[in-house]
Amino acid sequence: EAQVTQNPRYLITVTGKKLTVTCSQNMNHEYMSWYRQDPGLGLRQIYYSMNVEVTDKGDVPEGYKVSRKEKRNFPLILESPSPNQTSLYFCASSLMVPNEKLFFGSGTQLSVL
């Protein structure tokens, strides 16, 4: 089954404790991206990757890191989480053509205390 797999689904952590949210896709997609969803703001792009070893900032990259060492994986790293990073996070992937369907993971609800 074609899918984007995110883990964990829920995460509660404390300020400053490094964490990684994993994302993996099985569709051989070149394009992958991370979004955060906040009430009243919709979804906003954090980072994206057009291929292996090619990543770039989205609209809200501060406090986040990503890596793309393999085509299928695109982890999101919070090296020193803060309470303002409490949010619902989505990983997504698609073919490179911009009108192609964007496949989303099931989301990670992160709470930073």
Partner 1 sequence: AQTVTQSQPEMSVQEAETVTLSCTYDTSESDYYLFWYKQPPSRQMILVIRQEAYKQQNATENRFSVNFQKAAKSFSLKISDSQLGDAAMYFCAYRDAWGQGAQKLVFGQGTRLTINP
Please report, as ranges, the residues that interact with partner 1 according to CB under 8 A. 31, 33, 35, 40-45, 48, 50, 56, 58-59, 88, 90, 92, 98-99, 101-102, 104, 106-107, 109
| Closest distance to partner 1 from the beta carbon of 75 (Å) | 19
Q: How far is the CB of 11 from partner 1 (least distance, A)?
A: 14
Name the nearest CA neighbour of 55 among 86, 23, 88.
23
Nearer to partner 1, 54 or 113 (CB): 54
Task: Report, in Å, the least distance between residue 99 CB and partner 1.
Answer: 5
**Residue 36 CB: number of other CB atoms within 10 A?**
23
Which residues have CB under 8 Å from 4's CB, separation 6+? 23, 24, 25, 91, 92, 93, 103, 104, 105
Whichever of 4 and 15 has its CB closer to partner 1, that residue is 4
What is the Cα–Cα distance from 44 to 60, expressed in whole angstroms? 7
